[in-house]
Amino acid sequence: MLKDQFLIKMTDIVGDNFVVTDLERLSTVAVDETPNLKPSLPDAWVRPANEAQVAQVMALAYEHGVPVTPRGAGSGQSGGCVPLHGGIVLGLDRLNQIDQIDTENMIAKAQPGVILESFQKEVEGHGLFYPPDPASLQWCTLGGNVAENAGGPRALKYGVTKDYCLGLRVVLPHGEIIETGKQTVKGVAGYDLTSLMCGSEGTLGVITNITFKLIPNTPAVQTAIVVFGSAQDAAQGVAEVFKNGVIPRTLEYLDRDSIQAVANHGAPYTFPALAAAALIVETDGTSDEEALNHLLRALDAMNKAAPLDTLLAKDERQRRDIWQTRRLLSEATRKIKKRKISEDVVVPRSKIPEMVAEIGRIGEANGLGTCAFGHAGDGNLHVQVLFDEESEMPQVLKSIDEIFAATLKMGGTITGEHGVGIAKQKYLAWEQSPKVLSLQREIKKVFDPKLLLNPGKFIPTL
């Protein structure tokens, strides 16, 4: 429980309307989008309007030993913005301005509360492109994207958030403001603190401004769906595309169970009866002709893997239908069972068939439903564990343990997009050595000696 004097000082900083202590309103920031995560209430929800207020809030909390949990839109799926130890949730939604789009130098400066989709539309209005595209792009924020190093389907060709993050303004836990990075594409002076902050899940500092690299826009896109009789054939199709020198804009994968789920849920595309795997491939370019040429090269390469069917979208309606087939997955899997838990593992591309088979085996052995879909080009699979009753949770947790163990055995990693947060702390110690974990704990203590910023997240036993 926070002292009245502390709350009065906090109100003096941000204003009466922006320090929330009402339990009903606090409950809205007690969770994120992580399934089956127990809510955890803060003592207050504080919403500063600018960097100066963020610094004052942080300094006051540090002085009084009050934990601070930064929060963007709450779209995360690992519990990263859930306030485990009470204290204050630091809402950054009011820092929501795009400060600059510099078309000559192809950079932009923006505050952390800007919605990603709004930022992308503004950038594209200037003839430029900001590629990262997580599924939550319509409501996730730039600050959260940097904190999680967000990716998305286009990461295959264009990379993830850190590849576009040139510099940051950051408020440290004790309230000091630092500036990291640069405004130039090149720059190797000193340790790369910008990259360290990117993906640190709000445990080292609070981001208040971001300098992004932008690239020329490639507005023309061409899309196709290619269906195979086995996961092995689909994997060969992926390999053939890369051998042919084509890097698609996106290359999405659906396994047999995913195909059955969307087919039973009214997918616009009709799958062949023997469909066991599907790839949605999309290419881009500065013109329709260029994008189509890239796609035809990709499809020609995939033909070496003997697909059962190929549909090349002839117009925007067919393109929407292909993507609607993919977007139905989340809703369709909810029709199979009442509950689901989603994990995002990454394995080498060549291991996708083996991993998909292992996921199915694990689910069957534990009496659960499973399906896997995701980004075939970079091996990032979104694994759905499906179940009906809360009483099945022991089998669910056992299955998740086995899925992560199989992932690591195949040379993969426990998360490609969702982050560690609370949900994957246990598994980080499976992937990383005690020495590597120890070094990360020491880094945390350098930035946050009192361990007050987003406590209980990311690195185990801190």
User: pLDDT for 379-434, tens place per residue?
Assistant: 999 999 999 999 999 999 999 999 999 999 999 999 999 999 999 999 999 999 99
Buried b (16+ CB within 10 A) or exposed e, 425-455: bebbeebbeeeebeebeeebeebbeebbbbb
Which two structure tokens, joined as six digits, stand for 140? 């996730």
C-alpha 62/C-alpha 453 separation (Å) is 9
Q: What is the pLDDT of residues 155-166, one digit of tens each?
A: 999 999 999 999
**Stretch 91-98: mean pLDDT:** 99
**Stretch 63-85: mean pLDDT:** 97
Cα–chain-centroid distance for residue 333? Answer: 20
The CATH T-level fold of domain 98-216 is 3.30.465
Q: How confident is the model at residue 334 (pLDDT cuts 50, 70, 90)?
A: confident
Domain ranges of the chain: 4-91, 98-216, 220-329, 337-430
Buried b (16+ CB within 10 A) or exposed e, 196-217: bbbbbbbbbbbbbbbbbbbeeb
What pLDDT sits at residue 264?
A: 93
What pLDDT sits at residue 438?
A: 96
What pLDDT sits at residue 249?
A: 97
C-alpha 419/C-alpha 409 separation (Å) is 20
Which two structure tokens, joined as six digits, stand for 253? 């994968």
The answer to whether domain 337-430 has CATH 3.40.50.1820 is no
**Stretch 440-448: mean pLDDT:** 97
C-alpha 205/C-alpha 192 separation (Å) is 15
**Stretch 41-67: mean pLDDT:** 98
Q: Is 145 exposed, middle or buried (0-12, 13-18, 19+ CB in 10 A)?
A: buried
Contact (Cβ atoms closer than 8 angstroms) between residue 79 and residue 426: no
C-alpha 75/C-alpha 141 separation (Å) is 9
Contact (Cβ atoms closer than 8 angstroms) between residue 144 and residue 77: no
pLDDT at 461 over 90: no
Element (H, E) at 434: helix 434-447
pLDDT at 286 over 70: yes
Integer angstrom CA distances of residue 142 from 72, 125, 210, 350: 8, 18, 8, 33
| Rounded to 5°, angle at Cα 204 from 156 and 168 | 60
Dihedral, CA of residue 418, residue 197, residue 10 and residue 94, to nearest 10:
-70
What is the pTM (predicted TM-score) of this model? 0.95
The answer to whether domain 4-91 has CATH 3.30.43.10 is yes
Contact (Cβ atoms closer than 8 angstroms) between residue 82 and residue 69: yes
Q: What is the pLDDT of residues 288-328, one digit of tens each?
A: 999 999 999 999 999 999 999 999 999 999 999 999 999 89
Half-sphere exposure of 395 (CA within 13 A, CB side): 18
Residues recorded for the chain: 462
Percent of the chain clearing pLDDT 70 (strictly above): 100
What pLDDT sits at residue 310?
A: 98
What pLDDT sits at residue 275?
A: 98
Percent of the chain clearing pLDDT 90 (strictly above): 95
Which residues, 6+ apart, have CB-to-CB distance to 329 below 8 Å? Answer: 254, 258, 261, 262, 371, 373
What pLDDT sits at residue 331?
A: 87
Q: What is the pLDDT of residues 195-249, one digit of tens each?
A: 999 999 999 999 999 999 999 999 999 999 999 999 999 999 999 999 999 999 9
**Stretch 349-361: mean pLDDT:** 95
Q: How far apart are the first and last CA of the chain?
A: 22
C-alpha 318/C-alpha 143 separation (Å) is 35
What pLDDT sits at residue 335?
A: 87
What pLDDT sits at residue 460?
A: 84
> What interhelical angle do 231-243 and 352-365 show, nearest 10?
160
Select from 138, 136, 52, 131 the least CA-distant residue to 417: 136
**Stretch 55-71: mean pLDDT:** 98
Contact (Cβ atoms closer than 8 angstroms) between residue 91 and residue 47: yes
What pLDDT sits at residue 462?
A: 60
The CATH T-level fold of domain 220-329 is Alpha-Beta Plaits (3.30.70)
Question: What proportions of the chain, in percent to the nearest 5, are helix, strand and coil?
Answer: 40, 20, 40
Contact (Cβ atoms closer than 8 angstroms) between residue 143 and residue 112: yes
213 phi/psi in degrees, rounded to 5: -80, 140
What pLDDT sits at residue 109?
A: 99
β-bridge mates for residue 167, sequence order: 181, 211
Asked whether the domain spanning 98-216 has the same topology as the one spanning 4-91, the reply is no
Contact (Cβ atoms closer than 8 angstroms) between residue 83 and residue 69: yes
What pLDDT sits at residue 255?
A: 96
pLDDT at 364 over 90: yes
C-alpha 147/C-alpha 158 separation (Å) is 19
Residue-averaged pLDDT of the chain: 96
Q: How confident is the model at residue 36 (pLDDT cuts 50, 70, 90)?
A: confident
> What interhelical angle do 316-327 and 329-336 show, nearest 10?
40
Q: How confident is the model at residue 118 (pLDDT cuts 50, 70, 90)?
A: very high
